[in-house]
A = this chain, B = another copy of it.
Amino acid sequence: MNGAESLVHTLITSGIDTCFANPGTSEMHFVAALDRIPGIRCVLCLDESVVSGAADAYWRMSDKPAATLLHCGPGLANALSNLHNAQRARSGIVNIVGDQATYHRPLDAPLTADTEGWARPVSGFVRTAGTAARVGADAAAAITAAHTYPGQIATLILPADTAWTDGGTPAQAAAAAAATQATQAEISQAARILRSGEPTLLLLGGHSLRAAPLQDAARITQATGAQMLAETSNARVARGQGRVPIGRVPYPVDHAVHTLKDFKHIILVGAVRPVGFFAYPGKPGYLFPPDCTIHVLTRPDQDGPAALAALARELNAPPVSLPSPGPQPSPAKGAISPEAFAQSLAALIPEQCVIVDEAITFGRGFFPGTYAAPAHDWIALTGGAIGDGLPMATGAAIGAPGRRVIDLQADGSAMYSLAALWTQAREKLDVTTIIFSNRKYAILLGELAQVGANPGPTALNMLDLSNPDINWCQLANSLGVPAARATTMDEFNELLTQSTNHAGPFVIELMT
């Protein structure tokens, strides 16, 4: 058994059954091993940003790591921006990066790069396999690292000779250490603050945004008069009918500061203290007022859901009837607007669908308009590195089979990872991509306005995606995905309904 075969056996016995792959020459023995040893579904992606974004969303929907297969330092480099997003989502991923043979690396062949150096900033675990005999144990350690609560990126670099040399020994990943729990003292302290009557916010992140812990959070806030919010960008939120509606800290700094201005206490549950995405002259970096005290109930690496349950018990908070989001609305008609769009979404999305949110500017107000939608999960761009929506939709569909994925997709961001559409077509994934075709970097026009200058042609040219207009229907078709254009809400409603009633991918170009 060679090292590559021991790696495949180790992945399989450790519970990994999916590999998002963009292979190259140095990975041919690994490809051959995946071919010989059944048990892993290999999903070909035509660029590595698709690989990493898909693996991220696969984790978010399945709570299991996928493997990735990447080719040398530059292949890893192409994956980095979506690995950055995955790291901010605290997703578990096992990267396998094929690389130069150990004895060939000193010769500095053209594809030689600093693979470890590029991996380190996004990885909780980086190791280069040194011998074929060690590949199994190294892979097992990587898988354990990926499972470390709440999830980590683990990067195993596989020099070609460690893959092809005999002496491979499969291993099984050890169980990752369980999440640490909040102490009774921490729970009592949170209870004291909540009972104080002072304006208090429960700020939730990570697993606390699943359905059950949201119910506990609602019990707590209803019993104490506190409020609750999710962080601005979240890996996954349980939403819709039968779930507790929860808002987000707004993205624009002024809105966020306004939202948080009256709180005297913020209790963090798997969240971090709220900061602006960027600094602006004369605006604060922290979004909460100076006299607001931050308390940590659980850090992101601690068990937030258990702490919420314990806190609800400590407060003797009675079970809650869910606040009604009102009746499910009818689809909006007429002209396209963000509000009309949210209304149609709430009316038409299928039960248990997965929403992928890279809507950027157009989508800032979607949350309130969709509380009354059928039950769904909402996964969003977490690290601000745009180009993640199409890849995440691809991985979510594989991680949550049987559930329709609806990708709310800004056009500028979509241009980074078009190859994802091809993988959706090849794998016949149930993904509806809705391109908000406004033909500009709308977010940046807003930012430029804040700079104060009256933009001239050079600036406008750098923020404008028209000239030429991108024909998204043609583009999707060219990659094997059927598509149609909607210029009114009525047309959109019909296309969305059609696409969710048919298997396979579809693209709707929404002319906004």
Contacts and interface: CB of A to CB of B under 8 A. Distances in A.
A47 B110 contact: no
A191 B254 CA distance: 73
Contact of A32 (B120, B443, B448): B448
A470 to B, nearest CB: 6
Contacts of A418: 418-419
A478 interface: yes
Nearest to A474: B478
A383 B279 contact: no
Contacts of A275: 104, 107-109
Interface string A446-459: 01101101011111
Contacts of A111: 277-278, 383-385
A114 B122 CA distance: 9
A503 interface: no
B108 A459 contact: no
Interface stretch (A17-25, A322-330, A348-356): A17-25
Interface in A396-452: 412, 415-416, 418-419, 422, 425-426, 441, 443-444, 447-448, 450-451
Interface in A41-91: 42, 44, 46-47, 49, 72-75, 77-78, 80-81, 84-85, 88
A310 interface: no
Interface in A88-135: 88, 100-101, 103-104, 107-111, 113-114, 117-118, 120-122
A49 B444 CA distance: 20
Interface string A11-38: 0000000000101111011011011101
Copies in the complex: 2
A14 to B, nearest CB: 19
A229 interface: no
A451 B28 contact: yes
A480 interface: yes
A367 interface: no
B110 A462 contact: no
Most chain B CB inside 10 Å of its own CB: which residue of A23, A47, A447? A47
Given A160-B278, A478-B475, A77 B74 contact: no
A424 to B, nearest CB: 10
Interface in A456-508: 456-459, 461-465, 467-475, 477-480
A164 interface: yes
Contacts of A31: 444, 448, 458-459, 462-463
A78 B52 CA distance: 13
A89 to B, nearest CB: 10
Given A78-B416, A444-B24, A444-B28, A278 B84 contact: no
Given A31-B448, A32-B451, A479-B470, A415 B426 contact: no
A245 interface: no
A110 B233 contact: yes
A368 interface: no
Contact of A74 (B80, B412, B471, B477): B80
A290 interface: no
A504 to B, nearest CB: 11
Most chain B CB inside 10 Å of its own CB: which residue of A233, A278, A474? A278
A363 interface: no
Interface in A237-291: 272, 275-279, 281, 285-286
A216 interface: no
A155 interface: no
Most chain B CB inside 10 Å of its own CB: which residue of A28, A49, A459? A28
Contacts of A114: 120-121
Contacts of A286: 107
A304 interface: no
Contact of A451 (B29, B38, B384, B465): B29
B46 A465 contact: yes
11 contacts: A25-B278, A25-B444, A31-B463, A88-B110, A100-B279, A110-B277, A113-B121, A118-B118, A426-B468, A471-B478, A474-B477
Closest 7 CB pairs of A and B: A468-B480, A74-B385, A101-B279, A114-B121, A475-B478, A104-B279, A77-B80
Interface of A: 21, 23-26, 28-29, 31-32, 34-36, 38, 42, 44, 46-47, 49, 72-75, 77-78, 80-81, 84-85, 88, 100-101, 103-104, 107-111, 113-114, 117-118, 120-122, 160-161, 164, 232-233, 272, 275-279, 281, 285-286, 382-385, 387, 412, 415-416, 418-419, 422, 425-426, 441, 443-444, 447-448, 450-451, 453, 455-459, 461-465, 467-475, 477-480
